[in-house]
Amino acid sequence: MKCKQCNKETRLPHHKFCSRECYWETLRGIRGENSPNYKKVVGKSQVHRWLEVHYGKHSICENPKCKHESEFFDWAKKTGKKYERKRENFLRLCRSCHRRYDLTPKLKKKAVKNLWWNTGTKIDYAKGEESGMSKLKTHEVLKIRELYKKGKPTKELSKRYNTHIMNIRYIINGQTWKHLM
């Protein structure tokens, strides 16, 4: 078979090019959607990179109510739009406007919930078998501590309760199941 670039004979019959150089030479100048390496669906970071390459870094906020407080600018995805290579899906916003734009009532509620250390009220998380992550029941944990005090080795306890030896040690030392101490 002949090379598509230089018309030399290829080494193997199913090859279209005689060398990598010929292959890359055919791709020279081909950009965007015509490139064989072009991906239509890309991730968040690739879309942001595409925006920077095609529309550059910006220094103007598109929010008409902007107070011009920030020196840093970001591309913000418009609400309801997808991450696609389309300029109309994005806004140029300064960092402070971007945060205000993204802070929906649902996110605001989540942010307030995560600030329990500022308010002084601690959130009570489910403990022990109520957490849904526990392999052991409360009575089993109490029995493990009792058997350990009587001299049973941790290895034997881990086999009996079908759990890792470190879990047994954490229970005995009070690093886990503290509420039962």
Whether 44 and 52 have beta carbons less than 8 Å apart is answered as no
Q: pLDDT for 63-105, tens place per residue? A: 888 877 778 888 888 888 888 888 888 888 888 888 888 777 7
85/83 Cα distance (integer angstroms): 7
**Lowest-pLDDT range of 33-47, 68-82, 114-128:** 114-128
In a domain, 115, yes or no: no
**Nearest to 85, CA basis, from 121, 48, 119:** 48
pLDDT of residue 55: 85
Shared-domain flag, residues 63 and 79: yes
Whether 150 and 143 have beta carbons less than 8 Å apart is answered as no
Shared-domain flag, residues 48 and 102: yes
Shared-domain flag, residues 150 and 174: yes
Whether 112 and 119 have beta carbons less than 8 Å apart is answered as no
39/32 Cα distance (integer angstroms): 9
97/73 Cα distance (integer angstroms): 9
Alpha carbons within 13 angstroms on the beta-carbon side of residue 151 total 0
Mean of per-residue pLDDT scores for the chain: 81
pLDDT of residue 16: 81
In a domain, 162, yes or no: yes
How many domains are there within the chain? 3
Assessment of whether the complete model's pTM goes beyond 0.75: no
Shared-domain flag, residues 8 and 33: yes
The residue segments making up the domain with residue 15 are 1-38
In a domain, 56, yes or no: yes
Q: pLDDT for 132-166, tens place per residue? A: 778 888 899 999 999 999 999 999 999 999 999 99
